[in-house]
Amino acid sequence: MNVLIVDGYNIIGDWPELQALRNKDLGQARDLLIDKLAEYKAYSGDRVIVVFDAHMVRGIEKKDKNHKVEVVYTRENETADERIEKLTQEVKNVRNQVYVATSDYTEQRTIFGQGALRKSARELHIEVNNIEKEIEKELESQKQVQYKPKIPIKKEVLDVFEKWRRGEK
């Protein structure tokens, strides 16, 4: 199984649409990132963990699950990098390939030494955008498919059934 660990604020600071939103409302930028990663998770099947520094959200360490994306807020004096390194050690095993999404060069080198692979913020952005396009294509192709009943029914009868279904007389 692939596991993607995302440095949340690093990604928010790198993606243009999230940067613009961050300047207005950081909470909305976080939510949008989580929504985009939920689509990524649903499409790819990967386990996705997003880590946010506590300096932006005061309080104790907190873990949430939004749209099956694991969201971790670090402890008050713990950086996202430290938490990502711990998570990498926890989830890295023979069955799991761990990817860490960050553009922090020092962090990339550290997790590389732990056996994880890196994805830059730009690479993840391209991948997420490609997945969104694929989902749109699949939705469009689903709209084009007409339902064909297994039992041949005349169009007039189908029209009557459709009126009944809609509650029309």
Q: pLDDT value at position 50?
A: 96
Q: Has residue 105 been placed in a domain?
A: yes
Where in the sequence is the domain holding 64, given as residue range(s)? 2-141
| In the block, residue with structure tokens 């499409």 | 43
Q: Has residue 137 been placed in a domain?
A: yes
Q: Please report, as a single letter, which amino acid is at residue 110.
A: T
Contact by Cβ (8 Å): 135, 35:
no
Q: pLDDT value at position 56?
A: 55
Sign of CA dihedral 87, 90, 93, 95: negative
Q: Has residue 90 been placed in a domain?
A: yes
Comparing CA positions, the residue from 131, 107, 111 lying closest to residue 10 is 107
CATH number of the structural domain spanning residue 112: 3.40.50
Q: Has residue 158 been placed in a domain?
A: no
Q: Please report, as a single letter, which amino acid is at residue 127.
A: E
Q: pLDDT value at position 112?
A: 81
Please report, in tens digits, the pLDDT of each residue of the chain (169 residues total).
Answer: 999 999 999 999 999 999 999 989 999 999 999 999 999 999 999 999 999 987 655 555 566 666 689 999 998 888 888 999 999 989 988 889 999 999 888 888 888 888 889 999 999 999 999 999 999 999 888 877 777 767 888 889 888 988 898 888 6
Category of 47 on φ-ψ map: left (φ > 0), alpha (ψ -120 to 50) or beta: beta
- Say how far apart CA 83 and CA 80 lie, in whole Å: 5
